Amino acid sequence: MANEMVPGCLIKKRGNYYAVLFIDDGKGHKKHKWVSLNLKAAGNHARALTLLEEVRKEYSEKGASDIAQKTEKHPKKAEKPTAVVNASMQFSELLKEWLESAKPRLEETTYSGYWKCIYKIVGPYFDKLKTKASELTPEDLEEFYRQAQPGRTANTLIHYHAVIREALQWGLRKRIVTQNVADLVQKPKKEPFLPRYYTLDEMKELLEKVKGTQLELAVFLGCHYGLRREEIIGLKWDAIDFQYHKINIKHVVTEAQIDGHYKRISMDRAKTQKSLRSLPMDKTVEDFMMDYKAKQDEWKQNFKGKYDHSYDGFVYLWPNGRRVIPSWITKTFHEFLKANFPSDKIIRFHDLRHSCASLLRHEGVPMEDIQKWLGHSTIVTTEGLYAHFDQNGNIGSANKLASAFGEQGVDPVKTDPPHM
């Protein structure tokens, strides 16, 4: 008669699945047989159930009496991975060594973000715990995310997770750790982002109030083109083509913290390949830029020998020739809004980019054209940010419901903002 199926169950241990069989030793006693399924626990429950049945069948066919002598209560020590080299290395040291090895291939701005994450946030946390890289567990990372969560968005925690995972992957190749425990952690879910924006009337009011201030150029270009602050500061006169009435976005200036020191970085290229773009100038924009150039020439004459020519060629300068910096735009814009607008109308400077995009969408500009205008790398980014601005797309549905209820429909004209 065929043997009955050996009873068993699934057990999670250290982020992996094990089949635990309950085998009769022939003397009326049950012994536990642990069998590693070589399967990570995260997202593999269905597969683990299938493997459990296969293991039960295999051991049933062998016969319980044949394997009773070989059972054990716990997995063999050989099944528990151990670090091959540098078993005493602290996890924070692994992070720092990985960053140093990655530095030559990273953009300075990317390196800056990683440096801050490791030296200011993740490293100090695990330093206090004296956690060794070889002993790091998924539970350690999950506890770190819980501790780091207050005051931070889920997207920030996702960034931390990505840095940790990449560093552990390097440690795996260097045989400092034997598995990437970050893969066993359920990372935080990305938060949906709904951008804030100004209406057309609010943008017009802002443009009027900012006239004559040092902030005017940034606001003007932010409203009309949705330029990033790094693109505005990186704008050069040779990129403004008055003959063919267009502005070429091909230079950026940004700030980064490199090894603890702040540095301004000028790059003769945009954020991504798609960020390289030419935008047409209408008469208003062209006149504004020509007036600004004349004003800059006047500054050079007024300051004479005291004028700083280090940044000749750049558009956005102080009257003495010094270059405006990105953080100044962010801070000054916030202060200007606090002084001139109600508290519920205070937005970030980057939200002018969203305001420009929302206006384009309300005016019926296709998503593909908005993508090109803003310089997004993919249409997915554009649609993810601005699809909810497509209000007129639902007017037909609203009117059908209104008709069903015997009510008056929506007038599309009244839903459109006035033209600029």
Q: Note the pLDDT tens digit of each residue in 361-377.
A: 888 888 899 999 999 88
- C-alpha 204/C-alpha 211 separation (Å) is 11
Residues 224, 130 share a domain = no
Cα distances from 283 to residues 85, 216, 279, 286, in angstroms, run 67, 18, 13, 5
DSSP for residue 69? G
Residues 157, 228 share a domain = no
Q: What's the whole-model pTM score?
A: 0.64
Question: Does 128 map to a domain?
Answer: yes
Instruction: Look at residue 205 in the predicted model and tell me its pLDDT.
Output: 97
Instruction: Look at residue 213 in the predicted model and tell me its pLDDT.
Output: 97
Number of compact structural domains in the chain: 3
Q: pLDDT digits over 251-308, tens only?
A: 887 766 666 666 666 666 555 566 789 999 999 999 999 999 999 999 999 998 999 9
Of the candidates 154, 184, 214, which is a domain's last residue?
Answer: 184
Domain residues for the domain of 23 are 8-79
Instruction: Look at residue 63 in the predicted model and tell me its pLDDT.
Output: 57
Average pLDDT over residues 162-190: 90
Residues 150, 25 share a domain = no
Q: Using CB atoms within 10 A of its CB, is residue 299 exposed (0-12), middle (13-18) or buried (19+)?
A: middle
Question: Does 399 map to a domain?
Answer: no
- C-alpha 386/C-alpha 146 separation (Å) is 32
Q: Using CB atoms within 10 A of its CB, is residue 310 exposed (0-12), middle (13-18) or buried (19+)?
A: exposed
Average pLDDT over residues 130-153: 93
Residues 211, 167 share a domain = no
CATH number of the domain encompassing residue 294: 1.10.443.10
Instruction: Look at residue 418 in the predicted model and tell me its pLDDT.
Output: 40
Q: What percent of the chain has pLDDT over 90?
A: 51
Per-residue confidence band for 195, with pLDDT thresholds at 50, 70 and 90: confident
Instruction: Look at residue 236 in the predicted model and tell me its pLDDT.
Output: 94
Instruction: Look at residue 362 in the predicted model and tell me its pLDDT.
Output: 83
Q: pLDDT digits over 53-106, tens only?
A: 888 887 776 654 454 444 444 444 444 445 456 788 999 999 999 999 999 998
Instruction: Look at residue 107 in the predicted model and tell me its pLDDT.
Output: 83
Average pLDDT over residues 38-67: 74
Name the E strands within 235-276: 240-241, 246-249, 252-258, 261-267
Which range is least confidently modeled, 8-17, 110-119, 145-154?
Answer: 8-17
Question: Does 163 map to a domain?
Answer: yes
Longest dimension (CA), the chain: 106
- Kindly compute the dihedral angle of the four CA atoms of residues 35, 37, 42, 44, in this order, to the nearest 10 degrees: -120
Residues 106, 164 share a domain = yes
